[in-house]
Amino acid sequence: MNVKNNNFIVKNKNASRNYHLGDKYQAGLVLEGWEVKGLRNGKVEVKDSYVTLRNNEAWVIGLKIDAPASLKNENIDPTRSRKLLLNKKEINKILDAVSQQGLTCILTSLYWKDNKIKCDIAIGKGKKTYDQREDVKKRDWNREKQRILKNSNR
């Protein structure tokens, strides 16, 4: 998954904050033309999106892509379910992981790869609030440690 930063459309920052992420997969998205235009304009929100499995197919739920201004009058659903393109082995691995208690599948990022829009999904276990607070404490301490080291080297 060697993706340059300028190819990213959007990252789901809440995913790593709210979940312990495990296995990651790369998937394609089935999109309509207006959705690609909306992604080019950066009008997308992945905050509350997740992946569900139905009939041995993966679907992303809650991905909001706003329509371009030229299509505002048409009857368009910005939060419709979108199919993910995964092979059967990957779907079976995700299904096995999600069937375990407490695991879920989350959309972590959307990006361009060649001329196609890809997404990264990950299997995650929800963090408790004390785990989230512990992560904030570690991040603050590492930041403070870097400041101390920087000032001591002067």
CA nearest neighbour of 18 among 128, 100, 119: 128
The span from the CA of 131 to the CA of 35, in Å, is: 36
Domain ranges of the chain: 5-127
Residues of the chain below pLDDT 70: 1-6, 71-73
Q: What is the pTM of this model?
A: 0.74
CATH topology of domain 5-127: Small Protein B; Chain: A; (2.40.280)
pLDDT of residue 120: 92
Q: pLDDT tens-digit profile of 110-119? A: 998 888 889 9
The span from the CA of 123 to the CA of 12, in Å, is: 14
The amino acid that residue 53 corresponds to is L
